[in-house]
Structure 1
């Protein structure tokens, strides 16, 4: 029979705990993985099972200064066991990966506007499943949504995978549809999946081998919760039918939740995403549009804007039909948004630094304070 210590270590290991995380754990605190977050508290999974942990004052202050520091689903947390038996969440351990979305940029006569604050949707994720239902995936806006989510997925540090869900709905048109989606996701695996018939479910399960963690992202009605249930082998998430008439999904999942699967691996189900902004982009957009980046290297001018310049390889590809014009438009849109978010973020950081210096100078001017 295994000892309580070895049993607890096995539970933590099944949740993704490893030696590098153990090295980051402050002395005297207990490790746990965040399964769900509520206001001021988190539902966590630890060696002792499922429990609730309220945020410490230090965690609340950090989250107030930067929303990205707020504990999120998938985080590894350090808990303090209080004398009365409750837990307090003292710290969030360093994230290996993080899927962060920004505020949505809006186009107006004055240019782009919106919120530059970030929100972490999932942390310590190995695989990012972008789910797009077959019923709608040929629509231009939906291909744009795939590209947007893939940019964030690449930026997160996780492996992006596109799942064309409800693949049984398109019949003989599936091959054409898969080609359209694959063209919008160069370098990314694209799989048809039908959770009802089981098509592709085992392929999806293969991405979770080795106790990996995945997050499923997509619009309402994309079949995310149905897929999670198929992987779990039971109804762990509530599901609903797509609305009749407009074909749009209802928000069934109203919170993000980390679910350990009985066959190994963990998966995070998420509410439907209607609008999602870019945040702190590095190479995410370039990875999604690697085909355009490759063409751009063959342009006559190094600073080609791919508009009307002579010798533009990108425009030539559009004219000969090898590159959809829609794709260039989507690339331009995401490039502008990424640049705007970077400028907003830089301005916010400058403002925060100015405010900190104001506080320091105010303290130094107080009577009785010695000056260097």
Structure 2
């Protein structure tokens, strides 16, 4: 079967799969005999994609590194050989740097909304949620915090109020991941052509949410695991990223639970996250003010006046320093820069 041939179970249209003018404008006359496809699963040596004809396993050119591709990427594929030709530019990208590695790890591409999942128990950690928010902001992805296990908490609204203070205009949704109302509750961010992704610690209900959104049959469901009562930590049950169709339209990408989350290359994302500090900084006496000990610091004045939380400033300082430390310095002439040793 050729890639372009229709088959039962194929995709109704490329637009249903998330195709838009942003990607169509990149397809040029140099792509004859090729069709667009979207990466659905990334394995160590294989890439599986969705084309209008349905699911296909791509043939890869020599020396292809699958780590250079993310679930959600759009690529062009030669119709007769199923050979991967090239990747189209991404509209958005979720990535992170892992400890000991110089390259970023790709998590998901062309995502419209990032659902940051936490639960109404000991897993709720403002500092960790701020890291997820910084990554979403840096990737130009709209963040939404989902609070699960609300049925087991007496003060779910308190958790919601705390989460809403983490970023201006942030949507926070309280839900039961096992409820039949999940699709209806999250419908404003889903729908035909929309793509959402889920991140969060293990054991907070990400896989359960994917199963509910995608309406997966029992044999196809993402595995779920329990949590320890002492610290609300869960086992890693999702080990790979994958793209699933949402019952009401759209696509959802699940990601493995992250044991560590190091922030780097995220200066703009941090500025958006801590906008109340970013807005005050120009009023400081010194342009390079660290908001720590300098006279005439507008940020410290806000802390003393009680309009800015001191703990919030401390977390900003820690995250900013971590980002500065972890972000590689680029050296060399313009157009030929490389990472400093």
Shift of 1:73: 0.3
In 2, the alpha carbon distance for the partners of 1:4 and 1:196 equals 35
In 2, the alpha carbon distance for the partners of 1:56 and 1:225 equals 33
When the two chains are superposed, the root-mean-square deviation of aligned CA atoms in Å is 2.7
Q: Which residue of 1 aligns with 2:77?
A: 79
Mark the CA change 1:305 to 1:246 in structure 2 (over 3 Å): closer, same or farther. Answer: closer
Shift of 1:286: 0.2
Q: After superposition, give the CA deviation of every residue in 1:270-323 in whole Å (9 maximum; x if it has no partner).
A: 110121223433411100001112233443444322112233332233334443
Shift of 1:8: 6.2
The runs of 5 or more residues in structure 1 that have no matched partner are 105-113, 356-372
More helix by share: 1
Judge conservation of contact 2:123–2:232 (CA < 8 Å) in 1: no
In 2, the alpha carbon distance for the partners of 1:199 and 1:329 equals 38
Q: Does 1:135 align with 2:121?
A: yes
Shift of 1:198: 4.9
Judge conservation of contact 1:192–1:200 (CA < 8 Å) in 2: no
Q: What is the 5 A alignment of 1:1-372?
A: 4=6, 10-25=12-27, 26-57=31-62, 59-60=64-65, 70-82=68-80, 87-104=82-99, 114-138=100-124, 142-171=125-154, 173-198=155-180, 201-234=183-216, 235=218, 236-342=221-327, 344-347=328-331, 353=336
Shift of 1:116: 3.2
In 2, the alpha carbon distance for the partners of 1:152 and 1:290 equals 15
Q: Rg: which structure is higher?
A: 1
SS in 2 for 1:177: helix
Judge conservation of contact 2:122–2:231 (CA < 8 Å) in 1: no
In 2, the alpha carbon distance for the partners of 1:168 and 1:199 equals 14
In 1, the alpha carbon distance for the partners of 2:127 and 2:292 equals 20
Q: After superposition, give the CA deviation of every residue in 1:118-161 in whole Å (9 maximum; x if it has no partner).
A: 121000111111111111254xxx21111111111011111111
SS in 1 for 2:147: strand
In 1, the alpha carbon distance for the partners of 2:11 and 2:161 equals 45
Deviation beyond 6 Å, 4+ runs, structure 1: none
